[in-house]
Amino acid sequence: MSRASEIVEQLSWEEQRSLEEALTAVLAPPHQPEDAFVAELEEALLAEAERRQEQQSRLSTVGLVGGGIATLILGILGFILFRRQRREAEPEEAPAPAPVPAPAG
């Protein structure tokens, strides 16, 4: 049991009630927000959530398209480099021998 609980149990019922009222007055908000304020806040929060969801959707689409384009470009570059290396690795064909002139006669 905590020290605060021990102290509260030693108080009379009237003192406990007074302590509860004093704490409630200090810790509780002085008044509840008006319904119009709550409705306006709710509307603003919903609008912000919808805006962020649309923004996230657009970013996902841009990422998907951008990733596809990057993959395509890298694939083409890889293919070009592969072909270049393969050509360099192949032995060059010997030049065709010069035609021998036929003897005249």
pLDDT, greater one: 69 or 10: 69
- Residues 23/31, Cβ–Cβ less than 8 Å: no
For the stretch 17-65, pLDDT in tens is 998 888 888 887 777 889 999 999 999 999 999 999 999 999 999 999 9
pLDDT for the residue 24: 85
Instruction: Indicate the domain borders of the chain.
Output: 8-88
| Neighbouring C-alpha atoms within 13 Å toward the C-beta of 32 | 4
Q: Rounded to an integer, what distance in angstroms lies between the CA atom of residue 90 and that of residue 94?
A: 12
What's this model's pTM, rounded to 2 decimal places? 0.44
